[in-house]
Amino acid sequence: MGILLSVFLPLSLAIIMFSLGNGLTVADFQRVAKRRFAFLVGAINQMLILPIVAFVIAILFVLPGEIALGLMILASCPGGVTSNLLTKFAKGDVALSVSLTAVISLVSIVTIPILVATSASYFMGLDAPDINVTSLAIAMFLITALPVAAGMSLRHFAPDFSQRADRFLSMTATILFVVIIIGALATNWGVFLENLPRLAPALVLLNVVLLAVGLISGRLLRLSGSEATAIAVESGTQNGTLGITVGSLIVEQAAGLPPFSLPSAVYGITMYLITIPFVLWRRNIT
């Protein structure tokens, strides 16, 4: 299990983020300036509404401190490659989805350490782990921003090879994601079973609310149906691998992944149960 924590988990996240970067171009970032309002709506949903909803749910379901902190870690994570694929299948605005994923993934290097430290203090009090915000930010930079930049560089300087490698990278990222979810559940099986009656409904409710808020806010603010769909999917689909990794970074636990990683692992399963029907619905009415 020590190998899982020290080697496999960070390496897997780096590969997943490299896969994300391999699908990005500079134009994806430039597009933000051209579509400021739609991007702003999506960014507010992702970076402000999501943590607020997660905080309220943690209070309503009276989640234990460690699990509540894990929920806030999940809420601070950006979307990932999965959100872009689901948006495409839902006939949503893929360009907007990709732009949100790209920018918020980079911004999260700063926002996640701050939100995690604040949440730990609130939910765990004196039992909170000693979180070094600077060290966490540096670690996130090394395993998220650098791989994304490397993937974008490959796409820019070797586009033909990048396209050929894209399917392999996507498949590898999916397999690694599944392995990480299984590992996180296996190492916290007792905690998982103990908290399942509260945790599963809390995560399902979180997913439903985020999809609804994303869609409704987009429509109320007169965005197109495809833009609202992209914002909804981006809001409700989180990078679970990043959440699991952050949970393992904030505390050393030789016996396995800490309980902080559990909500991200469970959400990695429940989000498909909720989001896929939503995607099929949006696909059929668009």
Q: What is the pLDDT of residue 256?
A: 60
- Average the pLDDT over 8-29 and give the result: 79
The pLDDT tens digits of the residues spanning 198-242 come to 899 999 999 999 999 999 999 999 899 999 999 999 999 988 888
- Average the pLDDT over 59-85 and give the result: 90
CA distance 92 to 203: 24
Q: Which of 3-12, 32-41, 116-125, 132-141 has the lowest mean pLDDT?
A: 3-12
CA distance 66 to 127: 9
- The range of the structural domain enclosing residue 214 comes to 2-285
Q: What is the pLDDT of residue 173?
A: 73
Q: What's at 259, amino acid-wise?
A: P
Q: What is the CATH number of the domain that holds 115?
A: 1.20.1530.20
Q: How many domains does the chain have?
A: 1
